[in-house]
Structure 1
Amino acid sequence: MSRPRHPSAPPPATRVDAIVLGASAGGVEALSRLLPTLPRDFRPALLIVIHIPRGHPSLLVNVFTPHCALPVHEAGDKQPIEPGTVYFAPPDYHLLVDRDAHGPTLALSQDAPVHFSRPAIDVLFESAADVYGARLGGVLLTGANTDGALGLQAVHRAGGVTLVQKPDTARVATMPAAALAAGPVDFVLPLEQMPAVFRAWGDGGAI
């Protein structure tokens, strides 16, 4: 029997191996409230796309490392994905998930922008859904365009678990609202309620 997909009736918790997160305008502030809540023994990898203007260096690793118990890195091409590690997409590269003989890896691409963005959230979510299937959590936060809506549905179709920031709590509601319009999601929550879901995904316990 398939699990319920309506936000008012969230599914049982499930352990995931990775969580993909996407955000645009207001995303740094949102992640500053989420990532520091994760404990050192948190097991899923976290793969993150924040829209950054092309041609500008990313300071995300420097911003988040002092405040996170988990190691924080800028993603590298063909880099193995380690549990309990945060990876940020570098500027002007799409971040994808691939697989080699040893397991999931990161891949970088300079293919054309998607939704005027490179990195694009859809690209990460769709490639991660292909590799992780039902062992993936997808999270879409504040933002000013529709990037991520189709990618979140790819996570849904692959059997993964999906979470969207409640639009009226987002700094910019366009992105989460577009995700809700695109199809069903498992959770629609304000930021302060998300850490409990993340921890449940990490240990497979009740939410």
Structure 2
Amino acid sequence: MKKRWTVILGILFFCSCAPKVFKAKWTKEVAPERYTARFETTKGSFDVAVTRKYSPKAADRFYQLVKHHCFDNAIFYRVYPDFVAQFGSSDTITYQKWSSHKVPDEKVVQANKKGTLSFARSGKETRTTDLFINLKDNTHLDTITYEGVTGFPSFGVVTQGMSVVEALHSEHADTTMDTLDLMYSNREAFMDRFPSLDLIEQIRLIQD
């Protein structure tokens, strides 16, 4: 179990965004109290409804990242059956810019139940650009403490298309985590090694 949650921890040195464009003012944008993010993937489409009150700072950052196309062509690089589907891509330059504007930590209000969306993290104020969708009830993630921070606050939930999320290619499970350095240094080579991984073509904002 320890291995399964520790690899959720955010990637500190690499990015989950593209293209290589960034403006500091974007990090000040405040999300609507409720909005929907429509994921268009190589497996199909699904919707995630975000409720800002569950984790306001997380909802704001996700809104900013989606609005500015940071997940276009992102990889579902880790789909662990009956655990999580984690996504991000390999723009290290943009990551460094986004991560310099830290997201304050927040308490868990909404549990990590099946279909919920949470940021990965690796310590204090490290919610940056990598996220995961829970593939089952993972409420143990609500209370895990690591590097002085407790829990992974979820802030959204899949409302349509959970069958698409569950169908994401999961053959490699955690194997890809052993070669993430390849993904960041040479995305083409990484995809040659794991050609069946699904991609996010784009995420669109749909205000409720």
Please give the range of the TM-score, normalised by the shorter of the 2 chains: under 0.3
Greater share of helix: 1
Give the alignment's TM-score, normalised by structure 2. Answer: 0.28
Greater RCO, CA 8 A, separation 6+: 2
Greater share of strand: 2
